[in-house]
């Protein structure tokens, strides 16, 4: 699923919106989430999960072309932790899908 798929679902769920308006709403929501993460804030979506910015430490690596050791710099990354509700839906869906096979 991608951003266009989400926009299409918003459009289909709300008959009063045009597809372009649905795209604008999705872009606005994702923009707010991105803005908060850039500020280093936590984004909690109840029943879905929590997005947080974490700091990954630098580490040693190997250049695949030369085989020489290199230092990989630390960086920031986004971590998503699903809610207990989302985890339960996932495991229930897996069990249901396995039962169908």
For 30-78, what is each residue's pLDDT tens digit?
Answer: 999 999 999 999 999 999 999 999 999 999 999 999 999 999 999 999 9
Contact criterion met (CB below 8 Å) for 32 and 47: no
Would you state the structure tokens that stand for residue 30, as one six-digit string? Answer: 């994702």
The residue among 42, 44, 49 whose CA lies nearest residue 84 is 49
pLDDT at 86: 84
The domain defined by 42-101 carries CATH number 4.10.520.10: yes
């Amino acid at each position: 699923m991608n951003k266009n798929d989400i926009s299409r679902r918003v459009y289909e769920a709300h008959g009063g919106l045009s597809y372009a308006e649905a795209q604008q709403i999705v872009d606005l929501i994702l923009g707010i989430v991105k803005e908060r993460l850039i500020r280093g804030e936590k984004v909690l979506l109840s029943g879905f999960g929590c997005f947080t910015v974490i700091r990954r430490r630098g580490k040693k690596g190997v250049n695949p072309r030369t085989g020489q050791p290199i230092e990989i710099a630390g960086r920031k990354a986004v971590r998503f932790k699903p809610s207990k509700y989302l985890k339960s839906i996932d495991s229930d869906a897996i069990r249901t899908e396995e039962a169908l096979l």
